[in-house]
Amino acid sequence: MNQSETAMQKFDVVIVGGGMVGASLSLLLNSYMQQGLSVALLDAQSISPQAISNLQMQQPSFDERTTAISLGSKRILNDLGVWSYMEKAATAIEHIQVSRQKQFGRVRLHADDTNVEALGYVVENKHIGVGLQSGLLQQKDLTIFAPVTVKKYHVADGGAHIELINESNQCVVLVCDLLVLADGANSEGCKQLGISQTRYDYQQQALVCNVSLDRSHDQWAYERFTSDGPMALLPISGNRYALVWCMSTENAERRIGLSEQAFKAELQTNIGFDKGRILKVGQASAYPLALVQASEQVRQHVVVLGNAAHALHPVAGQGFNLALRDAKALAQIIGQQLSTAGNVNGLKHYLENQKQDQAITTHISHLFPEKFSEPGLHWSIARSLAMTLMDLSPTAKRLFANQAMGLVGKVSAWRP
């Protein structure tokens, strides 16, 4: 068949984007697929057993980064049967310390104090990809179109139409009751449907690499606010840390170009010596940082999800965790509506349920880096005092811990 011969296929739900969030939604819909819900998942990159076994998935979600998975997210992934693939590569976070470089005041959280197995887990994204994609390939009722190029989106009263070109250069039109756009922060789907994505540029980049120190990490994760910008040191396998260090674009470009010795020296100054001496740093890469928010998340026959709906500053490690809670809440609504999944009243109900969680998580992720780097003595004293008081207040610590662990929003969204 050539491009002029167009095939048409109908589904209840079409998910565009098989990154962390689109793949998770697909898995969350599995039980409804067994009740007859028809679902298709599209991605621009292929999804194959070979890529999974060689850790060579091409989706941007599954690159060299690491992700802090909250306890709530781990429970969702466990229920989906995919945590077992990630578990071997996961490091439990038993303690978290939030502090400021050269300032008094810090907050410390311990899993033991909150009676949980761990405050969260750190997993290399490639292993998250192995888990999610292995799960996808086992979904016998799911139709996967990957790799494809989506040409056109059109939404009318009867549903959404997605025109795509597949690997064999065939033109295929998918018609569905619900189109889920999980195609990332530069969503082509949003653009074509006239849904604007506002972008607040932090004028910062996140420099990401692995770091080995001469002391054991003992399952401690550190959030540190330095004069350059916020950084996170997350414990990972092999007694290493995954570093996420946010700084001006200029500094990121300069530091990427440094020799390992010079980079180690600058990093050591910023993390201090209490965690040990840096032995080795891995290959560093940089990610430009912006808060991206879709102007609309639901309309008749359409939902915008994941980074396409809200891409957050990574310092608090909340982007995927929030999107996974969204996906779980959305799957429940789809399960109630089944063949009328795109009914806007149900979709509005989904958004109403998630609004508070989205607002709190977005504000925390935005205010942390902004307020903690505000110059001036008054701010500096206020922040140090706030951290000291929080460290002394069990209630404030519990609220903070619940947010970090993803045990927020509607209880049914995270309880196993």
Ligand X SMILES: Cc1cc2nc3c(=O)[nH]c(=O)nc-3n(C[C@H](O)[C@H](O)[C@H](O)COP(=O)(O)OP(=O)(O)OC[C@H]3O[C@@H](n4cnc5c(N)ncnc54)[C@H](O)[C@@H]3O)c2cc1C
Residues at the contact surface with ligand X, assessed by CB under 6 A:
16-22, 42-45, 59-61, 65, 67-68, 150, 182-184, 188, 206, 208, 244, 287, 306-307, 314, 317-321, 323
| Least distance between ligand X and beta carbon 214 (Å) | 25
| CB nearer to ligand X: pick between 136 and 334 | 136
């309880």: which residue's tokens? 415
Residues 6+ apart with CB under 8 A from 103: 380, 383, 384
Gyration radius of the chain over CA positions? 22
When the beta carbons of 213 and 232 are compared against ligand X, the nearer one is 232
Nearest approach, Cβ of residue 378 and ligand X (Å): 31
Minimum CB distance to ligand X, residue 122 (Å): 8
Cβ-contact 211, 44 below 8 angstroms: no
Give me the least distance between CB of 147 and ligand X, in Å please.
8
Instruction: Please name the residues in contact with 289: beta carbons below 8 A apart, sequence gap of 6 or more.
Output: 201, 202, 204, 205, 206, 246, 313, 314
Minimum distance from residue 382 beta carbon to ligand X (Å): 27
What SS3 class is residue 21?
Answer: helix
Question: Given the complex with ligand X, which of 40 and 323 has the nearer CB atom?
Answer: 323
What's the token pair of residue 94? 């038993």
Cα 49 from Cα 183, distance rounded (Å):
22
Nearer to ligand X, 158 or 288 (CB): 288
- CB of residue 120 vs ligand X: minimum separation in angstroms? 9
Q: Is 284 in a helix, a strand, or coil?
A: coil
**Pick 139 or 343: Cβ nearer ligand X:** 139
Q: Kindly write down the DSSP assignment for every residue of 73-123, as one continuous string.
A: HHHHHHHTT-HHHHHTTEEEE-EEEEEETT-S-EEEEETGGGTSS-SEEEE
Residue 113 makes CB contacts below 8 A (sequence gap 6+) with 397, 401
CB neighbours of 148 closer than 8 A, spacing ≥ 6?
42, 43, 44, 164, 165, 166, 167, 172
Distance between CA atoms of residues 8 and 355, nearest Å = 36
Closest distance of CB 385 from ligand X, Å:
28
Minimum Å distance from CB 66 to ligand X?
Answer: 7
140 HSE (CA, 13 A, CB side): 2
Residue 113 vs 188, nearer CB to ligand X: 188
- Closer of 225 and 320 to ligand X (Cβ): 320
Residue number with CB closer to ligand X (245 or 372):
245
**How is residue 264 written in tokens?**
């180690």
